[in-house]
């Protein structure tokens, strides 16, 4: 079978790598792909901002399965468009994708279905904003309502800074686009967990949990990014807590979407804060996380394609996902200046030597091929990912491989997994 993957980042490289391992797959096509993906799949150009361009490509390729990586095509309705053309596609419809594309919708949905989440207010005017900020005690979380590539959450130490952040979101000064709504939330304390599930509209099948590192600086300092590293271990959640999250968060979300006439098929990414009063939903994503996917798929032992097709066909209850015990870790190498301004086009060396480290896979995010050489082409450039029997060994392998890689302005955090390692001391 032929599989088409839409996207160009590390998540899509990991998906292509896992999908290519299926004995049923004869060809993987990625649009637009990147320099690393081109080594294992046929890459074709496409504008991910154009529903028409993506639809034309799918009609021309006629894949047996399309897997949508990023949130933007989902928000445009690519699943609806391909289904209308009789094509099999994995991902939620535009209506179901509202769980991610509107934080205001998601918060109101959570309240309607009594799913635990932080106290909040959805504001669409300066008057509503002032009223909401006066109610919450600092620190206050200010969120863009729409998609923001992981950069739309601001933790504000005072009411004054919360007002400033919200006004910058309304004006477009912060993200380059004006928000119609802004969400104000209480600031929850605890450890964050990325809890991803496959959903067929009725059933859910959990993936192994992961913990992301959003801040650019070591010690979780500096601005939020799309993710600087992640790890996955069996110790993140015990079986009892996993069952609680399934029964009180993931399943009620899927059942609630069905009740409201928008069945959810695809990946439900529950961003959770593990607080003193239990897990609370910070946010939903409606696709595989990045870089969570890199670490998670390295532990998957069963056939990913079979699981994705079971989700499409409503047969997840008949599917058993099998996982490698132990741990995995992904360390992201970025361009100097990310998540702010950065330069690209620098040659990357040492990739072959890095790939020789046992248990390591290198997933390209912002790379391209130029004159027969791999060069930097984005803010997050590579995800050096490793699996092992323990988190310590997985991290040691990832950092050993990272030490082989060089390009002008390379930056990576050297403390990925620090929270888990500290707990074991």
Closest CA to 207 of 328, 106, 99, 104: 328
pLDDT exceeds cutoff 80 at 425: no
Phi, psi at residue 177, to the nearest 5°?
Answer: -140, 140
What stretch of H or E contains 223? Answer: strand 221-224
Residue 342 binned pLDDT confidence (cut-offs 50, 70, 90): very high
As a whole number of angstroms, the distance between CA 143 and CA 299 comes to 32
DSSP state of 357: S
Q: Identify the three-state secondary structure at position 170.
A: helix
Whole-number pLDDT of residue 269: 98
pLDDT tens digits, one per residue of 265-292: 999 999 999 999 999 999 999 999 999 9
Alpha carbons 137 and 160: distance in angstroms, whole number: 12
Q: Token pair of 196, please?
A: 């991803």
SS3 content of the chain, % helix, strand, coil (to 5): 35, 30, 40
Strand partners, 89: 66
Does residue 44 contact residue 67 with C-beta atoms inside 8 Å? no
pLDDT digits (tens, 9 = 90+) for 293-315: 999 999 999 999 999 999 999 99
Q: Kindly indicate the confidence band of residue 59, based on its pLDDT and cuts at 50, 70 and 90.
A: very high
Q: Is the pLDDT of residue 396 over 60?
A: yes
pLDDT of residue 259: 97
Give the number of other CB atoms < 10 A from CB of residue 18: 19
- Summarize the confidence of residues 238-255 as an average pLDDT: 97
Residue 237 pLDDT > 80, yes or no? yes
Average pLDDT, the chain: 95
Cβ–Cβ under 8 Å, residues 316 and 198: yes
Partnered with residue 274 across adjacent β-strands are: 191, 279
Evaluate the omega torsion of the peptide bond into residue 22 and state whether it is cis, within 30 degrees of 0.
no
Give the mean model confidence (pLDDT) for residues 329-340.
97
Q: Which two tokens stand for residue 307?
A: 């699981």
Summarised one tens digit per residue, pLDDT across range 111-138 is 999 999 999 999 988 788 888 888 999 9
Question: How would residue 150 be classed by pLDDT, with cut points 50, 70 and 90?
Answer: low
Question: Residue 176: which pLDDT band, with cuts at 50, 70 and 90?
Answer: confident
**Residue 166, pLDDT score:** 86
pTM of the full predicted structure?
A: 0.94
Write down all domains in the chain, each with its CATH number in brackets: 2-93 (3.40.50.20), 119-186 (3.30.1490.20), 191-318 (3.30.470.20), 327-424 (3.90.600.10)
Beta partners for 374?
A: 369
- At 175 the pLDDT is 78
Task: Provide DSSP, 187-215.
Answer: ---SEEEEEEEEEESS-EEEPPPBEE--E
330 pLDDT higher than 80: yes
Q: What would the mean pLDDT of 215-239 be, rounded to a whole number?
A: 93
Q: Do 378 and 190 touch, CB atoms closer than 8 A?
A: no
Nearest-CA neighbor of 291 among 227, 215, 372, 381?
227
Give φ, ψ of 254 to 5 degrees.
-65, -45
User: Could you tell me what percent of the chain has a pLDDT over 70?
Assistant: 99
Average of per-residue pLDDT across 230-251: 96
87 to each of 31, 43, 82, how far by Cα in Å? Answer: 16, 20, 5
Please count the residues of the chain: 425
User: Does the structure show a pLDDT above 70 at 375?
Assistant: yes
**pLDDT class for 419, splitting at 50, 70, 90?**
confident
* pLDDT at position 424: 66
pLDDT at residue 174 is higher than 80: no
∠ CA 389-393-394, nearest 5°, is 80
Which residues sit opposite 363 in a β-bridge? Answer: 383
292 vs 196: CA distance, rounded Å: 9
Q: Which residues pair with 74 in a beta bridge?
A: none
Q: What is the pLDDT of residues 9-39, one digit of tens each?
A: 999 999 999 999 999 999 999 999 999 999 9
Residue 148: its pLDDT value, please?
77
Alpha carbon distance 362, 398 (integer Å): 9
Helices (H), 187-342: 239-245, 251-259, 292-299, 304-313
């Amino acid at each position: 079978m032929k599989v088409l993957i839409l996207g160009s980042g590390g998540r899509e490289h990991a998906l292509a790598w896992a999908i290519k391992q299926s004995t049923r797959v004869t060809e993987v096509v990625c649009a637009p792909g990147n320099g690393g993906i081109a080594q294992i799949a046929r890459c074709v150009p496409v504008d991910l901002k154009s529903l028409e361009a993506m639809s034309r490509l799918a009609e021309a390729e006629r894949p047996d399965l399309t897997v949508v990586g990023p949130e933007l095509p989902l928000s445009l309705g690519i699943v609806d468009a391909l289904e209308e053309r009789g094509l099999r596609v994995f991902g939620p419809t535009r209506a179901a994708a509202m769980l991610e594309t509107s934080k205001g919708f998601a918060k109101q949905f959570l309240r309607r279905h009594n799913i635990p989440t932080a106290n909040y207010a959805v504001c669409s005017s300066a008057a509503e904003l002032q009223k909401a900020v006066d109610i919450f005690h600092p620190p206050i979380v200010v969120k863009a309502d729409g998609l923001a590539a992981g950069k739309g959450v601001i933790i504000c130490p005072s009411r004054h800074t919360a007002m400033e952040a919200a006004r910058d979101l309304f004006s477009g000064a912060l993200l380059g686009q004006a928000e119609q709504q802004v969400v104000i939330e209480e600031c929850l304390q605890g450890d964050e967990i990325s809890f991803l599930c496959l959903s067929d509209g009725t059933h859910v099948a959990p993936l192994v949990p992961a913990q992301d590192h959003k801040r650019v600086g070591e010690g979780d300092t500096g601005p939020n990014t799309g993710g600087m590293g992640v790890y996955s271990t069996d110790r993140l959640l015990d079986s009892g807590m996993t069952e609680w999250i399934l029964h009180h968060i993931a399943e009620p979300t899927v059942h609630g979407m069905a009740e409201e006439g928008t069945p959810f098929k695809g990946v439900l990414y529950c961003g959770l804060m593990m607080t003193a009063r239990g897990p609370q939903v910070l946010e939903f994503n409606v696709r595989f996380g990045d870089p969570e996917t890199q670490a998670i798929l390295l532990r998957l032992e069963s056939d990913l394609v079979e699981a994705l097709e079971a989700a499409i066909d409503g047969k997840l209850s008949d599917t058993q996902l099998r996982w490698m015990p132990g741990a995995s870790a992904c360390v992201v190498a970025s361009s100097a200046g990310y998540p702010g301004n950065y330069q690209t086009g620098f040659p990357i060396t040492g990739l072959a030597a890095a790939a020789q480290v046992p248990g390591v896979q290198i997933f390209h995010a912002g790379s391209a091929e130029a004159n027969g050489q791999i060069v930097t082409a984005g803010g997050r450039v590579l995800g050096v990912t490793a699996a092992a029997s323990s988190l310590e060994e997985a991290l040691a392998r990832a950092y050993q491989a990272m030490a082989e890689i060089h390009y002008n302005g390379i930056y990576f955090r050297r403390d990925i997994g620090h929270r888990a390692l500290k707990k074991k001391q």
